[in-house]
Every structure is written in C-alpha cells, then in structure tokens.
Amino acid sequence: MKRREFVRAVGRTAGLAVGGSLLGFRPPVRPSAVPSLLIPMDDAQGDHLKAYGVTYRVVQAGIKAEWLLNYRGGSFLLPDGPAIRRDAALAGVTFEPVDDSRVTAIRGEIEASNMDAVPLEKAPKVAVYVPPNAAPWDDAVTMALQYAGITFDKVWDFEVMSGKLAGYDWLHLHHEDFTGQYSKFYLIYTGQPWLAEMVRFNADAAKQLRFGTVPDLKKAVARRIRDYVGNGGFLFAMCTATETIDLALAAEQVDIAAAFADGTPMDPQADGKLDWTKALAFTGAHVEPSPQIASFSDIDGHQVNAPARRQPLGAFKLFNFSAKIDPVPTLLVQNHRQVIPDFYGLTTSFLRSRLKPSDVVLADEEGAPWVKYINGNHGKGTWTFFGGHDPEDQQHQIGDPPTDLSLHPHSPGYRLILNNVLFPAAKKRELKT
C-alpha cells in the first residue's frame, strides 16, 4: 500500500494537510470484499470531470478500482476510506457508500445487461506534447488534466527525438502542425509577435537537432510518435494534430510544406507520392496545394478556415457498443449524454471517405459525410483522434480567454477527453472482435 504517495497526491490536489494515521486503509483486496464507494457518473454526479481525478489518484496510490462500463453513465467503484472521502468531498465529487450486498446487486445487474466491470490497475504516466513557449491559446486536454487534478509532464521535439517518450504511457497532441507550415497562421496573423516567436523557436529546434528544415524535423518527430504507439503507447490527439501527423507520416517522398517556403503552389503530383500505408488513421487524402488557403487537406469535413467552410455546426452522437465484446470503444464513449453539440477546430471532423477500413468510428453526425471521434490500433498500441479544439467553446479564436471548466463540470465533451486519460489504466484482455 503506497500510503505516503496517496497522502501527497490528495494533499496536492485537494489542499489537504493530513497524516497517514487518518487514512484508515487496509491492505488492498478485491473491491467487492470491502466496504466500497460508488462514484456515480449519471446526472447524480456533482462534478463529472473531477471524478476522474479522484479515481486516478486512487489508482495512482496503488489501490485497485473498477470502471463500471455502461452502469449509470460509466461509474467508478472504489474502496472506502476517510482520505478518499475527503478528496472527493473537497473536489465536489458525489459518492455513495455501498455495502457488500449492494455491490453484489450491482454486479448482478452488470452481468445481466450490456455492461461490464473493468479493473483499473496502474495509473498511466501522462505527457502533453507542447513547445516550451506555447502559443497564446488554450489546450482543452491540458485544462482538463489541471481541472481534474491529474499530473502530467510537458514534452516537445527534444524529448521525443531523445527517446524519452518510452517513459510515458499516454501522450497527447493538440495544436502542432506536423507538416511544418505553422498551421498557415501567416495568412491571418502576419506580424504577430507570438507567430514570429513560434517560427524562430521551431527553426532553432531544427538547427539544434541537425535537420535542414522544420518540416524535416516534424516528419521525424511524427515517425517517433508512430513508433511510440507501435511499441505499446496510447496516443490521443485533437484538432490540428490529428490531420497533420498523418500527412507528415505519409509524406516521406514529398515536402508538403514546400509551398509555404517559397509562396508557390505545391507540386500537383504530390498527392501521388504520399504513402498512406505509413499513416495511422487516414488514406487517399488530397493535400491543399495553395499556400493561400488555410487548410491542410480534404481530410477535414468542415474546412473551417477555407472558402468551402461547412456551416452551421450540428451535433454528434456517440455509438453504443457491446461492453462485454468491445470493451475498448465502450470505455472511450462512457458518458451521461449520447448527443453532444459539435465544436470547431482547425481540423473539426474527418471525412468517412478518408478513413482506413480498420478505423473504429466512436461518434458521428447523423447523415453527414464526416465523423467526429475515431480509434484504432497500430502495432502494440492504440491511437484515438477527436476533431475540434474545445468542447465548450464552439468557435474559439486565438486571444479568447481560456475556458473556465468550473462553469462546465458536467461537460460531456470533456468527459470524452478524460475517458482517454484513464484508458491505459484499464486491465488489458484479448478482444473478441
């Protein structure tokens, strides 16, 4: 039992100053054999997002928990103890003490329904890919981690290229343009100090790491990230990173940022040189050839900064999977809402025609040619792509204030992010499909 670590974790996140004598824990045993706490994740929950943090810290302390898939919105079952109760109470997280007879009844309901109980055994070590001089806009995942009280490290190109990703279980990507075009921000934000600093910082990194150009560095970083997944890592990406990492992986024989470098249109034969067998999620895409149109390719169904922008935004619906047969996609869609308002990002959605046959669609917009949320495997690892920038800010602009998650403690979109954070903690088993 890692008693001291748990006290420290609780103290950091909840502001407690407690001693080990207050924990009241017994050695870890099966949750069903001791008094338990149910963390409901349906509408009874006081703060859905911080509930993930409470659960994470319990697992981080070496205490086994369970994720009850499809039971009351994807609830958590934890062992009872004073410190866990304090942590939950101070975070505003609703919990229900349940005795052995109630746990038995819950397990019976789970066994008889489209539900499952998944053990959570090891808290993942989390990394967020972000440059040290991050640009002045917010990252939804970083905000979710901070709000929930889940610790993470920041990594960037130097850490990736030196092999440090091997020390992490879960990696998040968000804003990065892996094609090396700086998201074509020069079309709108020329002269902005933060853009000039972004260009300078990336150019210096390429030089220090001995790459001829920033696109060459980003392609190498993308390949290292793909290798990280292949070796068993969990990758979660949103917004620009979803589309551009695959473009970079496919572009081994073509510099898709050449147009940016000299202001001329891209080689019209470039599409034919892309090798989509190297990509994770997408295939057959056409790269945007003009340096004067602020989109990357036709992977994105919404083209938010291009003349072909799709409006208005709709809503996407989470798929209903079999918890016992397909636990991975079931886990990733746990929520108290099935229909969620859509939100823009530089990459908002993914055209169905650009998905690989092996991709699993987790959520889509009914009748639309695009999907919102996808998952797949690569080697020993798993990737998940979620389109859009911020689930609670539909049309976020650079310079807008960060989202205050205390105003959105029940956000179903942010819940999808935190599902992915806890995903690596789930005990692995062979899937039946």
**Mean pLDDT, range 396-421, rounded to an integer:** 91
Give the pair of three-digit tokens for residue 261.
Answer: 């470098």
Q: Are strands 126-129 and 170-173 parallel, antiparallel or unpaired?
A: parallel
Confidence at residue 353, expressed as pLDDT on a 0 to 100 scale: 96
- First CA to last CA across the chain, in angstroms? 36
Most confident of 20-29, 110-119, 394-403: 110-119
Confidence at residue 41, expressed as pLDDT on a 0 to 100 scale: 98
Give the pair of three-digit tokens for residue 358.
Answer: 């092996």
Nearest partner of 256 among 265, 109, 352, judged by Cα: 265
Given pLDDT bands bounded at 50, 70 and 90, which one contains residue 433? very low
User: Does position 271 have pLDDT exceeding 70, yes or no?
Assistant: no
Confidence at residue 186, expressed as pLDDT on a 0 to 100 scale: 72
**Mean pLDDT, range 252-280, rounded to an integer:** 69
Q: Mean pLDDT, the chain, as a whole number?
A: 86
Q: Cα(157)–Cα(159) distance, rounded to whole angstroms?
A: 5
How many CA atoms does the CB half-sphere of 373 hold within 13 Å? 28
Q: Alpha-carbon torsion 16, 20, 21, 22, what sign? A: positive
User: Does position 198 have pLDDT exceeding 90, yes or no?
Assistant: no
What are the structural domains of the chain?
A: 3-120 (no CATH), 126-425 (3.40.50.880)
* Range name among 28-32, 54-58, 242-246 with the lowest pLDDT average: 28-32
Per residue in 310-335, pLDDT (tens digit) is 667 899 999 999 999 999 999 999 99
The one-letter amino acid at 10: V
More confident residue, 317 or 269: 317
Confidence at residue 34, expressed as pLDDT on a 0 to 100 scale: 55
Phi-psi region of 103 (alpha: psi -120 to 50; beta: other; left: phi over 0): alpha
Q: Are strands 153-155 and 75-79 parallel, antiparallel or unpaired?
A: unpaired
Give the alpha-carbon dihedral of 44, 47, 53, 54, to 10 degrees: -50
Per residue in 336-360, pLDDT (tens digit) is 999 999 998 889 999 999 999 999 9
User: Does position 292 have pLDDT exceeding 90, yes or no?
Assistant: no
Give the pair of three-digit tokens for residue 402.
Answer: 């960060």
Taking CA atoms, 306 is separated from 177, 293, 300, 390, in Å, by 17, 6, 11, 20
Given pLDDT bands bounded at 50, 70 and 90, which one contains residue 19? very low
Confidence at residue 329, expressed as pLDDT on a 0 to 100 scale: 98
Confidence at residue 277, expressed as pLDDT on a 0 to 100 scale: 95
- Yes or no: say if 215 and 179 are a contact pair by the CB < 8 Å rule: yes
| Residue 304 Cα to chain centre, angstroms | 21
What share of the chain has pLDDT > 90, as a percent? 67
Confidence at residue 266, expressed as pLDDT on a 0 to 100 scale: 57
Q: Is the peptide bond before 28 cis (omega within 30 degrees of 0)?
A: no
Per residue in 363-380, pLDDT (tens digit) is 999 999 999 999 999 999
Per residue in 80-134, pLDDT (tens digit) is 999 999 999 999 999 999 999 999 999 999 999 999 999 999 999 999 999 887 7
* Residues linked to residue 115 through DSSP beta bridges, in sequence order: none
**Mean pLDDT, range 8-17, rounded to an integer:** 37
Give the pair of three-digit tokens for residue 105.
Answer: 């009844």
How many residues appear in the chain?
433
| Residue 259 Cα to chain centre, angstroms | 31
Confidence at residue 374, expressed as pLDDT on a 0 to 100 scale: 98
Q: In the sheet that 96-98 helps form, which strands lie side by side, from edge to edge? A: 96-98, 36-39, 75-79, 65-69, 116-120
User: Does position 30 have pLDDT exceeding 60, yes or no?
Assistant: no
Biggest CA-to-CA distance, the chain: 71
Given pLDDT bands bounded at 50, 70 and 90, which one contains residue 429? low
Cα angle 212, 218, 220 (rounded to 5 degrees) comes to: 80
Q: Cα(320)–Cα(328) distance, rounded to whole angstroms?
A: 12
Tell me how crowded residue 327 is: count the other CB atoms within 10 A of its CB: 21
